[in-house]
Amino acid sequence: MKKCFVLLLLLPLGFGGCDDGHEPRTETWTVAPEKGVAGIVMSFGHVPAYIVKTAPDAEWRTFSGSIANFTFEKGYQTEMLVRIDPIPNPPADGPGYRYTMEKPISRTPMQSDVDPLQFSPELEVTIASRRADSPATSGYWIKDKRYTDPQWEPFPWEIEGFDFEPGFEARLLIRPVAEYDDAKGDYEVKYRLTKLISSEEKVSEGIPDK
């Protein structure tokens, strides 16, 4: 099950994974002036991601891979030619393509005309009645309710707006968002409470010993 989770997380990391073509190609990409969030599996966390169109008439989508020669700057929408090169014999858990900005076309200061939150749907989770404590982190035990048989997983990120009560098991709707950190000059993912569905005084069962 864990192996399947890892593969799912890697799906947003690059485009072309189902493309049978093995020749380099060039596409005209537009990168939005804000970042969104990519990632699927809660226990591995989400990551900030570019919001891109891979053709002028394409739909916006997230892309969490890297683009060589390109430096993202918040508040600027960039259009460019991107060269896509297949990577020979890529590792099983790695991207199959390398992306390089071949030529910048335009760089325009503007507010984003795409809402980053549309790529970050709410997630229903259960929070265990006790914290997940370890020498490295202090977070939650969490069940991701998208799965038919969710298991308790350590979740080392805080959930903004959630007031944890020891001894109470809670069901929540949360949303991962990419938030710009002025001090770091980059985005980081924060998890926010959007709705408290229920909170029940009980001892959560089945939590791993470690």
Please write the tens of the pLDDT for every residue from 143-161: 998 888 999 988 888 999 9
| Mean pLDDT to the nearest integer, 174-184 | 93
Among 14-18, 20-24, 40-44, 98-102, which stretch is predicted with the lowest mean pLDDT?
14-18
Per the structure block, which two tokens stand in for 61?
Answer: 């989508």
Residue 147's pLDDT is 86
For residue 23, what pLDDT band results from cuts at 50, 70 and 90?
Answer: confident
Mean pLDDT of 76-82: 97
CA angle 114, 115, 116 (to 5 degrees): 110
pLDDT of residue 15: 53
Q: State both tokens at 23.
A: 């020749």
Give CA separation, 193 vs 2, 59, 124, 164, in Å.
26, 28, 10, 11
Torsion of CA 1, 190, 78, 10, to 10 degrees: -10
Cβ atoms of 131 and 20 closer than 8 Å: no
Q: Does residue 56 register a pLDDT over 60? A: yes
